[in-house]
Amino acid sequence: MNKYESVIIINPSVDDEKVKDLEKRFTDLINKDGKLTKIDELGKKKLAYEVRKNKEGIYVVLYFEAKPTLIAELERNYRITDEVIKFIVVRVEE
């Protein structure tokens, strides 16, 4: 299993409860085929440039271990989730 880091930027108009629901959904997906090691909630931050007419976003960073096959499914889920305005998944070298 490889180590990964995923940064998700969520629409700033989403309330805290919905953010927690999204985190739970993504962590359940990761834990089904891998292992979540840590979540960092960085809160609302100003974006470097406007994304989908938003100047701010709620940042969430997920650190996990998984097989490479899980990444495609995780990114697919990010894409179909309307609240996620931007994301990236990066493999972390040891």
Q: What is the pLDDT of residues 27-47, one digit of tens each?
A: 999 999 899 999 999 999 999
Query: Coil, helix or strand for 2?
Result: strand
Using an 8 Å Cβ cutoff, are 8 and 87 in contact?
yes
CATH code, domain with 59: 3.30.70.60
- Rounded CA-CA distance 7/5 in Å is 7
Count of the separate structural domains present in the chain: 1
State the pLDDT confidence band at 94, using cuts at 50, 70 and 90: confident
Predicted confidence at residue 30, as pLDDT, reads: 94
Q: What is the pTM of this model?
A: 0.91
- Residue found by looking up tokens 């927690």 in the block: 20
Nearest Cα to Cα of residue 67 among 27, 25, 35: 35
The boundaries of the domain holding residue 33 are 2-91
Mean pLDDT of 46-71: 94
pLDDT, mean of residues 1-21:
95
CB 57 within 8 A of CB 10: yes
Q: How many residues does the chain have?
A: 94
